């Protein structure tokens, strides 16, 4: 199961009720927040283990199911663009058949998420270009590595990654 850990603001916006916090693989846990870019609502999703960022637009208030679907589609498209093997993506996304909504649990991930939104100006041709740039930034919480490279390594064997 993939866990989407929504901030208080996003829980309210999506009219979602969070499930109890559970221990699971950090690779399968994502923190999610809402922010505005050019007067449009965007959703930023950051992986707890690798700090890989995915940005989604076109989600309105109360569209939690659409958020889940669009997250999985955007993640798939982006990983294919980055050269991740389709079989590895499919294996990872099998966990996404059941998505649990929970509360945020890591101040470190929230800090990275804030940094990601700080750097997401609209100087990019499209969202994929923005994601490529964002996921090549170096972050201290992941030993100064690039999120995309760390995710590529971790996705090779998603069952063996750390739990909280």
Q: Classify domain 2-154 at the CATH topology level.
A: Nucleotidyltransferase; domain 5 (3.30.420)
Residues 6+ apart with CB under 8 A from 139: 51, 112, 115, 145, 147
Point out which residues pair with 139 in neighbouring strands: 145
Q: What are phi and psi of 119, to 5 degrees?
A: -95, 10
Strand partners, 56: 43
The structure's pTM equals 0.89
Q: What per-residue confidence (pLDDT) applies to 134?
A: 86
Digits of tens for pLDDT over the chain (164 positions)?
899 999 999 999 999 999 886 777 899 999 999 988 777 888 999 999 999 999 998 888 889 999 999 999 999 999 999 999 999 999 999 987 889 999 998 898 888 888 887 766 656 667 778 888 888 887 777 888 899 999 999 998 756 565 44
């Amino acid at each position: 199961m993939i866990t989407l850990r929504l901030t208080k603001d996003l829980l309210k916006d999506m009219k979602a009720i969070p499930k109890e916090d559970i221990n699971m693989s950090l690779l399968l846990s994502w923190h999610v927040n809402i922010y505005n870019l050019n007067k449009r609502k965007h959703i930023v999703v950051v992986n707890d283990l690798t700090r890989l960022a995915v940005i989604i637009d076109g989600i309105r208030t109360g569209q939690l199911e659409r958020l889940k679907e669009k997250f999985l589609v955007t993640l798939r498209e982006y990983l294919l663009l980055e050269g991740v093997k389709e079989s590895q993506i499919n294996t990872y996304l099998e966990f996404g058949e059941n998505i649990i909504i929970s509360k945020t649990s890591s101040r470190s991930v929230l800090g990275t998420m804030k940094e990601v939104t700080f750097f997401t100006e609209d100087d990019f041709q499209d969202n994929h270009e923005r994601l490529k740039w964002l996921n090549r930034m170096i972050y201290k919480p992941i030993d100064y590595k690039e999120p995309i490279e760390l995710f590529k390594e971790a996705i090779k064997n998603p069952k063996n990654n750390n739990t909280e």
